[in-house]
Amino acid sequence: MTSAPDRAGALRRDAGNPLRDRRSLFTIPEGTVYLDGNSLGAIPRAVPGRVAQVLTEEWGTSLISAWNSADWIGLPARVGAKVGRLLGLPADTVWVSDSTSVSLFKTMVAACRLRPGRDVVVVERATFPTDGYIAASVARMLGLELRWADSDDLTASLDDRVALACLTHVDFRTGAAFDLPAVTAAVHEVGALMLWDLCHTAGAVPVDLVGPGVDFAVGCSYKYLNGGPGSPAFMYAAPRHHDALDQPLSGWMGHARPFDMELGYEPVRGVGRLASGTPPVIALSALEAALEVFDGVDPADLRATSLSLTDYFIELLDARLGAEVEVLTPRGHDRRGSQVSLRHQHAYGVVQALIARGVVGDFRPPDVARFGFAPLYITHADVYDAVEHLVQVVRDREFLREQYAVRNPVT
């Protein structure tokens, strides 16, 4: 006979977690179980001091000379190298400077220009809305067809007209992950290029881009990378494409000699061709400090912890709530990101009632409650406590309380 789950068991799991000491590198409000790192990561303790240093010592004292003395000018490449190491990429293949939307726009246009004579861009229907909006804009600008693919049968949308396929590696609603190598191979089989959105991947789900020959990737840094609200996104371009990159926002920071102030545009060599305007120094400095929490972390441990946390959450849900909530996230490890999504008729009320109890997740319409498990700072004890609260919310029907009847525009 198997004993019922208890909190002592959760603590035993935490004692064996190779990442158990990383939580101390973050500021987590007392009494909060933060399961929304898939929307906005918790703040690493090193960030406020680093930002203060930029403001008071660098900008405040050195003024414009800090572009050189503090190497502000090198931030996009330097931070890109840090992100690249997390993804197993060469240091000179990742650039960090713009928002996710701008980064998607630039890489999509550059990719499509590498396939002249092809007139289709493929995006899956379940994609994050921004990806679809940007793809539609790129298609209008370049005179291409936007083709919507079925996530369950992507190959049906591929043919020799396709210039680019842009897919989200981990689905933002369900947490389901694509088979990246297999999909990339299918896209290359028809002669098209592959762009992966890694917003719900980077920092939680190790992924190989080099082996499968991925052409481009874009990802935000404010989720599992903990860069802060609105922190800049990263762009990856395979080295074989660098010399031919022709992106649409050819600002002066992408010029081979920006301070010569020439009228004609000559792009810099390498991934710096993706640069446009002046980099966001304060945001990049905060992100650079935030990424230190990954120093010395084995990607295998990151993934093992993520799977252990999500497995435990699902195990407790099955034991405590049964059919009262539907687990949308795949149970198979090869198809799961680092979140667990639940379907419930009153999902919005469920999430709001949990937030009132100090358990922070989020809601996605029409009926999905999402819970993200950032492996560096979420513990098995957090998981146990979250399910305890969820059981009370569902069993006592707290989700029907009047204050949860009107949706908050964010959560």
> Which residues are tagged catalytic?
128, 197, 222-223, 370
Which of 34, 403, 398, 373 lies closest to 175, judged by CA?
Answer: 373
Joined tokens for residue 182: 């297999």
SS3 57: helix
* CA–CA separation, 289 and 47 (whole Å): 6
φ and ψ of 167, to 5 deg = -130, 150
Q: Are 200 and 168 in contact (CB under 8 A)?
A: yes
* CA–CA separation, 240 and 114 (whole Å): 11
DSSP code, position 48: H
* CA–CA separation, 28 and 31 (whole Å): 9
* CA–CA separation, 306 and 309 (whole Å): 5
* CA–CA separation, 143 and 29 (whole Å): 50
Angstrom CA distances, 176 to 245, 302, 331, stand at 32, 18, 9
Burial class (CB in 10 A: 0-12, 13-18, 19+), 229: exposed
Give, in degrees to the nearest 5, the angle at Cα 305 between 361 and 394.
30
The enclosing H or E element of 76 equals helix 75-86
Beta bridge mates, 359? 33
Query: Residue type for 275, please?
Result: A
Q: Are 265 and 255 in contact (CB under 8 A)?
A: yes
Q: Helices 100-113 & 129-142, crossing angle to 10 degrees?
A: 40
What CA dihedral angle connects 29, 34, 38 and 42, to 10 degrees? 20
Peptide bond into 229 cis (omega under 30): no
